[in-house]
Amino acid sequence: MIGQAKTATHDEAGNIYATGYIKDTVHQQEYTQTIKLSSDGELLWATVDSFSQATDFEQGEVIAISDHHVFACSEIAYNTPNGPAAQKIDYRPILYSTEDGAILFDTLIDFNVHDITYHAHYGKGHFYLLGRSYLPGGTADDYRYKLFKFGVEEPSAVGDMPNGAGGLEVYPNPFDASTTIELKGIESNSALTFKLLDVTGRVVQQRAFRSPSLTLQREHLPSGLYFIKVETADERPVAAGRVVAK
């Protein structure tokens, strides 16, 4: 195995975060590797992951951090059915937990034949990714800078809970097929609305209920971090929390 760190950053406590790649020289397969080091150089965690299909290369290129999340973006290259002449390069944003390096979310973004990663930044509850997408040998119309904005800390739809609002318990968390959400300090006959939001703040599940607990079924939810929001019938916030689908 060989590897290389491509970029790094640090937090206020002096912990260092770096992303790059590690390569299996026997099978010629590359993987994104992201690590966290303490201020005195102790390895706190290292996460190795790869895109689901075979790639020519996969390398973490940019990184940014918040209090709870590490955001990295890899460039991945792979051949289309037309062969190496039609090689694609795409963005692969990945969101990690700062605590243990668990992957909370990742996706593939394909805008053009070549999607090149330039810079990542965190500010005011959002991660930003700057890239360049173009068609090799194309015209100026094929050349575009791309700016992406990812909401991750607390989507505005979740918001702060008012004083005196109830809490909730989620178990198991993380979960596979289903999990139980139990409300604390809520009257059992109250008319409530349950909402599940993804990391962009989009509602992916919603339903009305009256009991102090409900079961969340996995159904077709992709793996990742989700936000729970419970409201009254007139949309006043009651409780909020987080859950991770394995």
For residue 223, name the pLDDT band (cuts at 50, 70, 90). confident
Domain boundaries, the chain: 2-151, 168-245
Confidence of residue 144 (pLDDT cuts 50, 70, 90): confident
Cα of first residue to Cα of last residue in the chain, in angstroms, is: 28
pLDDT, residue 24, reads 76
Q: What distance in Å separates the CA atoms of residue 229 and residue 158, rounded to the nearest whole number?
A: 6
Q: Is the pLDDT of residue 79 over 70?
A: no
How far lies 123's CA from each of 45, 120, 126, 151, 241, in Å? Answer: 24, 10, 6, 10, 22
Q: Is 214 a residue whose pLDDT tops 60?
A: yes
* Separation of alpha carbons 32 and 20, rounded Å: 6
pLDDT of residue 30: 81
Q: What is the CATH number of domain 2-151?
A: 2.120.10.10
pLDDT value at residue 164: 35
User: Is residue 116 within 8 Å of residue 139, measured between CB atoms?
Assistant: no
Predicted confidence band of residue 242 (pLDDT cuts 50, 70, 90): confident
State the average pLDDT over residues 68-92. 78
| pLDDT above 90 coverage of the chain, percent | 32
Give DSSP secondary structure letters for 214-238: EEEE-TTPPSEEEEEEEEETT--EE
Given this model, what pLDDT does residue 141 score?
A: 67
User: What was the pLDDT predicted at 140?
Assistant: 64
For range 17-43, the mean pLDDT: 88
CATH number for the region 168-245 comes to: 2.60.40.1220
Residue-level pLDDT at 112: 83
Q: What is the pLDDT of residues 32-64, one digit of tens each?
A: 999 999 999 999 989 887 765 566 788 999 999
Q: Is the pLDDT of residue 161 over 50?
A: no
